[in-house]
Structure 1
Amino acid sequence: MIENLRPYLQLIKENHDFRRLWLAQSISNFGDWFGLLALYAIIGRYSDSEFLLGLIIVVKMLSLAAFSPIAGYFADRFNRRRLMIWCDILRGLAVLGIILVQSPEMLWLAYVLTAVQMMLSAVFEPAKTSSIPNVTSEEDLTNANIISTATWSIIFTTGMAIGGFATEWLGTDRVLILDTLTYLLSAWFVYRAAIPQKSLSDAELKRTRNPFKGISEGLRYLLSNRHILRPSLAKGTSTMFLGGLVYLLIIVSEEVLMMGSIGLGLLYAARGFGTGIGPIIGRRIFRDEKDWVKMMGLSILFCGVMYMVVGFVNSITLMLIFVLLAHSASGANWVSSTVLLQKRTQDTFRGRIFSTEWLLFTIGNSISVVIASLVLESGWLTVKPLIMIYGGIMVLAGIIWSFTITRNERDWQGQEIQN
């Protein structure tokens, strides 16, 4: 076991700049999940409205989506290290400001500050992902992304649980203060890291001084480079179905398993663990990078099949196994598409490419959840048949990917060999 982990531990130990960037990501991600239940508690304290509770999720997703295009422009035009530091400091202040919500009349402030927090996250994420190739060698790039994804999965499974206990024991104000400190600590680690970056030339800076010009130029770059466009579609294609399926796990826990938050915690823990181990398994099965676009289609297909089984069974044990397997495939899809984008995209466009990918991801996720919730609300279907339908359409998407995008990738690779 230790031998298998050695390349990852060695990278963290020997590469000081990656270690600091990884620690910053880990701490800020923990802060994201740690403070979430305190935010829910504040909304619940000053409102009995389920709509207002759900609205905070919509605000988070729409803020990310709406700010993603300009965020990528910032990540390419300005120094990414400084951007991440300022994003962390300002996110900390935004979270701290939620303490001012002390009455129903002030509840609007929680939504405004959450929107600000997520807009800053929309800048931080592409800046961070774009920086990983600049602090690692090409040989270590896949391992670096596996470490990042595995860390996210661990934090996902523990952050909300710890935040829930902390909210209960310490109260919302103290939790928000601690959340603020996580962002400031993240900023400190980014400050300590040396993050090289290829700057735009004077001509490029002048040509793209209008943000709309810079954004449109990034979009043209993406559309004209199909070998970059293909992996950029992987996460969005997957989450068009997976977003709704993850949402439906909440209903499964409540109405099928009758286990409430305990069942949901177990299902989400299986999701997080699967996301963490999937990239490691995927890399062992698909060792050749030339096969990774094919792996993305197979991962989408496999994930859909696993969720069809989740919709069929009633045992919590079986559900945990198949949710874990489904998200193992999703995790492999996530890391392989990220690494290909990092390698294939030139540094001066990387921020805009990753922000566009994030935009597709958030839009796909939002649409998927809205459709699933409307279908359940209307009574057209119950939760288990809906899971099987979502899983079945996801299988179809994986098959279509294999016959179109995988084939186009293979043709491009053949042309590259001839050239």
Structure 2
Amino acid sequence: MLEKIQPYIDLVSNNQNYRRLWLSQIVSNFGDWFGILAVYALITRYSDSEFLLGLIIVVKMLSLASFSPFAGYLTDRFDRRRIMIICDLLRGLLVLGLLLVVSYDTLWLAYVLTALQMMLSAIFEPAKTSSIPNVTTREELVDANVLSSASWSIIFTMGMGFGGLATAWLGTDLVFIINAISYAVSARFIYRAVIPQEKMSQAELKRTRNPLTGIREGFRYLFDNPQVLRPTLAKGCFTMLLGGLTYMLILVSEDVLMMGSIGLGLLYSARGVGTGIGPVIGRRIFDRERDWVRAMGYCMMFGGMMYSIVGMTTSLGVMLLFVFIAHAASGANWVMSTVLLQRRTPDTFRGRIFSTEWLLFTLTQSASVMLASWILENDWLGIQQTMIVYAFFLAVAGVIWHLTVTRDEEAYHEKNGEEYVPAHSRTAERF
């Protein structure tokens, strides 16, 4: 057992810059997941509308999506370390603003503050993901992403579990204060890290001084390089249906299990544990990177089949098991697509590519949640019926992926050899 986790122990022990970036992720993620149930509780306290509950998720996703192209431009053009620190501090202030939501008449403020918080997250996330290859060696990169994913999942599990209890027992105000403090601690860890970054040339800086030019060049690079475009599509295709399924877990806890925040905390904890274990399992099953694009299609099909079972049962134990398995597939898909993008994209374009990935991810998730909430609001289908329909089409999406994207990837490898190793894959020296 120790041999299996030793590479991750060595990575955290020996690479202090990755360790600080990783610790900032742990702290801020805990605050986020600890606080998200408090936001849901705030909405359900002052409104019993399923549509308004779904709308907060859509507002989050659309805010991320609308700002993502500009965010990618910023993270490629300016110092990512400084950008992440500023984003953390501002997000902490915005979370404290949620203390002002005290009635139905002030509920709109939760949506505005959440939108602004997500705009800052749209900058922070591509900056963080783009920085990981610059604080690790090529050999450490996969371990770093698996560890980041596993940590996200553990913190997700703990944050959601404790968050559900804290929201019920301590109230939303204290939860928001803890969330704000987590952002300040995260900023401190990033401040202490050295994060190398390949700078744009003076000619490129001058050419892209107009943000629209820089954004346009990022999209052009993506479509001119299909080997980068393919993994960019993976998360968006998955969450096109998984987003609605995850949203429906909120309603399953309320209306099927009749367990409220505690039930949701358990379901989301199963989701988190699965997301963490999935990349480790996926790496062992698909040990060659050239097989990872094919594996993404398998993950979609498998996730759909597992959620169909969730939609057919009223047993908490069965739901926890199959939510866990479905999100293990999702976690494997996430890490494989992230590593391929980090390897295949030059540093000066990485922020724009990851922000485009976020754009696709958030748009498809928003559409997925909005459609599900609209179906349920109008009583066209029940919660579990809607879940089964979504699960079926997720499996179909995996089949379509195999007939299109996987075939293109295999043709690419046949043309270019066993493994794709870009000329720009040099990593910065560790400090």
TM-score, normalising length from structure 1?
Answer: 0.94
What is the CA–CA distance in structure 2 between the aligned matches of 1:379 and 1:95, rounded to whole Å?
A: 34
Query: Alpha-carbon deviations, 1:245-299, whole Å to 9, x = none?
Result: 1122233333434444443332222111110100000000110111101111111
Superposed, which structure 2 residues align to 1:169-318 within 5 Å?
A: 170-318=170-318
Percent identity between matched residues is 63
What is the CA–CA distance in structure 1 between the aligned matches of 2:375 and 2:115, rounded to whole Å?
A: 28
Q: SS at the partner of 2:195? A: coil
CA RMSD of aligned residues (A): 2.1
Letter of the aligned partner of 2:403 in structure 1? F
Pick closer, same or farther for the CA change 1:171–1:270 going to 2, 3 Å: closer
Letter of the aligned partner of 1:237 in structure 2? C
Deviates more, 1:208-217 or 1:104-113: 104-113
Pick closer, same or farther for the CA change 1:53–1:304 going to 2, 3 Å: closer
1:368 alignment partner in structure 2: 368
Check the 8 A contact 2:37/2:261 in 1, yes or no: no
Letter of the aligned partner of 2:285 in structure 1? I
Report the alpha carbon displacement of residue 238 of structure 1 after superposing the two structures with TM: 0.4
Q: SS at the partner of 1:312? A: coil
What is the CA–CA distance in structure 2 between the aligned matches of 1:249 and 1:314, rounded to whole Å?
A: 12
Superposed, which structure 2 residues align to 1:89-168 within 5 Å?
A: 89-101=89-101, 106-167=106-167
Pick closer, same or farther for the CA change 1:279–1:270 going to 2, 3 Å: same
Letter of the aligned partner of 1:210 in structure 2? N
Report the alpha carbon displacement of residue 96 of structure 1 after superposing the two structures with TM: 2.4
2:12 alignment partner in structure 1: 12
2:427 alignment partner in structure 1: none
Report the alpha carbon displacement of residue 159 of structure 1 after superposing the two structures with TM: 1.2
Deviates more, 1:314-323 or 1:180-189: 314-323
What is the CA–CA distance in structure 2 between the aligned matches of 1:173 and 1:71, rounded to whole Å?
A: 30
Letter of the aligned partner of 1:295 in structure 2? A
What are the ranges of 5 or more consecutive residues in structure 2 without an aligned counterpart?
A: 421-431
Check the 8 A contact 2:164/2:264 in 1, yes or no: no
1:68 alignment partner in structure 2: 68
Report the alpha carbon displacement of residue 341 of structure 1 after superposing the two structures with TM: 0.2
Pick closer, same or farther for the CA change 1:37–1:381 going to 2, 3 Å: closer
1:406 alignment partner in structure 2: 406
What are the ranges of 5 or more consecutive residues in structure 1 without an aligned counterpart?
A: none
Pick closer, same or farther for the CA change 1:261–1:102 going to 2, 3 Å: closer
Superposed, which structure 2 residues align to 1:17-96 within 5 Å?
A: 17-43=17-43, 47-48=46-47, 50=49, 52-96=52-96
Check the 8 A contact 2:311/2:384 in 1, yes or no: yes
Q: SS at the partner of 2:279? A: helix
Q: SS at the partner of 2:176? A: helix
What is the CA–CA distance in structure 2 between the aligned matches of 1:175 and 1:257, rounded to whole Å?
A: 25
What is the CA–CA distance in structure 1 between the aligned matches of 2:35 and 2:259, rounded to whole Å?
A: 24
What is the CA–CA distance in structure 1 between the aligned matches of 2:396 and 2:57, rounded to whole Å?
A: 29
1:390 alignment partner in structure 2: 390
- Is 1:322 the counterpart of 2:310 in the alignment? no
What is the CA–CA distance in structure 2 between the aligned matches of 1:305 and 1:85, rounded to whole Å?
A: 41
What is the CA–CA distance in structure 2 between the aligned matches of 1:95 and 1:135, rounded to whole Å?
A: 30
Check the 8 A contact 2:88/2:186 in 1, yes or no: yes
Q: SS at the partner of 2:417? A: helix
What is the CA–CA distance in structure 1 between the aligned matches of 2:329 and 2:55, rounded to whole Å?
A: 30
Q: Which has the higher helix share?
A: 1
What is the CA–CA distance in structure 2 between the aligned matches of 1:4 and 1:322, rounded to whole Å?
A: 25
Check the 8 A contact 2:161/2:266 in 1, yes or no: no
Q: SS at the partner of 2:3? A: helix
Pick closer, same or farther for the CA change 1:41–1:244 going to 2, 3 Å: closer
1:343 alignment partner in structure 2: 343
Deviates more, 1:196-205 or 1:369-378: 369-378
Pick closer, same or farther for the CA change 1:369–1:175 going to 2, 3 Å: closer
